[in-house]
Amino acid sequence: MKISTRGRYGLRAIIDLAMQENKSCVSLGEIAARQDISFHYLEGIFSYLRRAGIVIGTAGALGGYTLSKTALEMSLYDILKVLEGQLSMTGDEAPEQETELRAFLRQEVWDAVDKSIENALKQMTLGEMKETFRKRDDSNFCAGL
C-alpha cells in the first residue's frame, strides 16, 4: 500500500492543526507556510476533511479551521480513510477469474495485512501523534542546548 501525496500532506496538516488546538481557528495559510504545502492543494485536502466532518471551517477575516472533535477522539484511520478512500494492499480490483490460489492469497495474506494496517491506524490517535511529536521536538530542542 502506498499513501498518496494527499494522504501524507493531509496527515501533516491535520496534526499541525491539532497542535494549534488552543487557538479558536487556524488559517490554511498558516498551516501551508509551516508545512511547506501549496495553499491551493491544502484547500482541496481540507474540502475533503470538512465534508467528512473531520474539521469545521469558519468563514471571515478571523476564520479558519478547527477539529470537529478532540484530537484524542480521532484516529489516523478516520483521517486517512477520508483522504485515501480504500486502504488496501491490492485495491478493490476483482480479477476476471479468481483462481483457488488467488482466493487463498487474498484471504490469508492480503486481507490479513489490510486488517493489521487498519487496526494499527485505528489505535493511533491524532492526540497521541501530537503529544509524541511535541515530546520529540522538546527533546531535540534540549539536546541542542
Domain range for 108 is: 5-143
pTM (two decimals) = 0.84
Cβ distance 55 to 21 under 8 Å?
A: no
Long-range contacts from 61-67, C-beta under 8 angstroms, 24+ separation: 62/24, 62/25, 63/25, 63/27, 64/25, 64/26, 64/27, 64/28, 64/30, 65/17, 65/25, 65/26, 65/27, 65/28, 66/17, 66/21, 66/24, 66/25, 66/26, 67/14, 67/17, 67/18, 67/21, 67/126
Whole-number Å distance between alpha carbons of 2 and 54: 22
**How many distinct structural domains can be found in the chain?**
1
Q: Which CATH number does the domain housing residue 138 bear?
A: 1.10.10.10
Per-residue pLDDT of the chain (145 residues), as tens digits, is 688 999 999 999 999 999 988 888 999 999 999 999 999 999 999 999 999 999 999 988 888 999 999 999 999 999 999 999 888 877 766 666 788 898 898 889 989 999 999 999 999 999 999 999 988 876 664 444 3
Give the number of residues written for the chain. 145
Contacts of residue 24, defined as CB under 8 A and 6 or more positions apart, other chains included, come to 62, 66
